[in-house]
Structure 1
């Protein structure tokens, strides 16, 4: 069984577990953790994540952050300078603010309720421009059902490392990994 098949299997078990309505925002966040090299394979299998969610009688919404950086740069007044000297470029908090706005909007849509899964994909495109931990902390209060973060990185010892390169962060989210029979209720 491939690592993505195991991730899907572990996700299927997690999404079928009973959901408590009395959990904090932090506990409503699930991290589907996979090696960064598997990003394209996970994207290709996204319809299977959706199908498993619908089979478990939950709603599904996808928020794709892939185009956030290129759209932001293309509309930036100093884009020519950014392209001529990219080493001087810093997105500061502007990009993170846009990501937060997009995720909040997705979580607050009319068709999203306490039985829905909102999946965030495309985080790899934002590597080195923002911190995933900060994004999640800023949106956790608007999660009504569950927030599934497709996370290219690693999870070990309750620490998540984005793209296997940054210092890890300890977050209270539920990890779903591609480890054989790994599941945390």
Structure 2
């Protein structure tokens, strides 16, 4: 029996080797690589195989991690010590300050990349945003900032055109392409 991560790599390999239509909107050029959250470590250990499949398909690979987004925002916040003492106080700040920060964080990372219409940008560690911001809110503001494809490594589920991060949040409809097993 073939492992789930191996199946996911095979499915990704099929998709990345298809012709890339240049007339799609930014939302349609987003790919969600959807996998069981329990497989996160296995997927993370095999990121290099996704990169290899991309390069073998004649495309370029760039990667962005969202892991440091929240820590960077929190480290610069005037009231960070108070928030650590009373975490419930941060809730209002997430909507007003963190989401715009996360959008700017991702936009700046995308702009800094060397990319063209044959570049696949892998967005890693999106689960680090869980509980702080909705990924959909961030992605919808950044869908014009990449030129090729945006591949989101997504620990969650896809069912009836709904994506749910970590299987715990209400999902959202998105025009992105799911890659699942």
Does residue 19 of structure 2 align to residue 21 of structure 1?
no
Task: Give the corresponding residue for 1:98.
Answer: 101
Alpha carbons of structure 1 residues 3 and 25: separation in structure 2 relative to 1, 3 Å: same
Once the two structures are TM-superposed, the CA of residue 110 in structure 1 deviates from its matched residue by 5.5
Bigger shift: residues 49-58 or 91-100: 91-100
Matches within 5 A, 1:61-80: 61-80=62-81
Contact 2:115/2:146 (<8 A) preserved? no
Gaps of 5+ in 2: none
Bigger shift: residues 67-76 or 51-60: 67-76
Aligned residue pairs: how many?
178
Q: Distance in 1 between matches of 2:68 and 2:25?
A: 30
Task: Give the corresponding residue for 1:43.
Answer: 44
Give deviations 1:8-49, integer Å, cap 9, x for gaps. 111111000000111111110000001112222221111111
Task: Give the corresponding residue for 1:166.
Answer: 169
Task: Give the corresponding residue for 2:32.
Answer: 31
Matches within 5 A, 1:69-148: 69-90=70-91, 91-109=94-112, 111-148=114-151
- Normalised TM-score (structure 2): 0.93
Q: Distance in 2 between matches of 1:48 and 1:134?
A: 29
* Secondary structure, counterpart of 2:173 in structure 1: coil
Q: Distance in 2 between matches of 1:127 and 1:139?
A: 18
Output the aligned Cα RMSD.
Answer: 1.3
Give deviations 1:37-79, integer Å, cap 9, x for gaps. 2222221111111111111111111110101112221221111
Contact 2:33/2:179 (<8 A) preserved? yes
Contact 1:159/1:171 (<8 A) preserved? yes
* Secondary structure, counterpart of 1:150 in structure 2: strand
Q: Distance in 2 between matches of 1:106 and 1:74?
A: 19
- Normalised TM-score (structure 1): 0.91
Once the two structures are TM-superposed, the CA of residue 164 in structure 1 deviates from its matched residue by 0.5
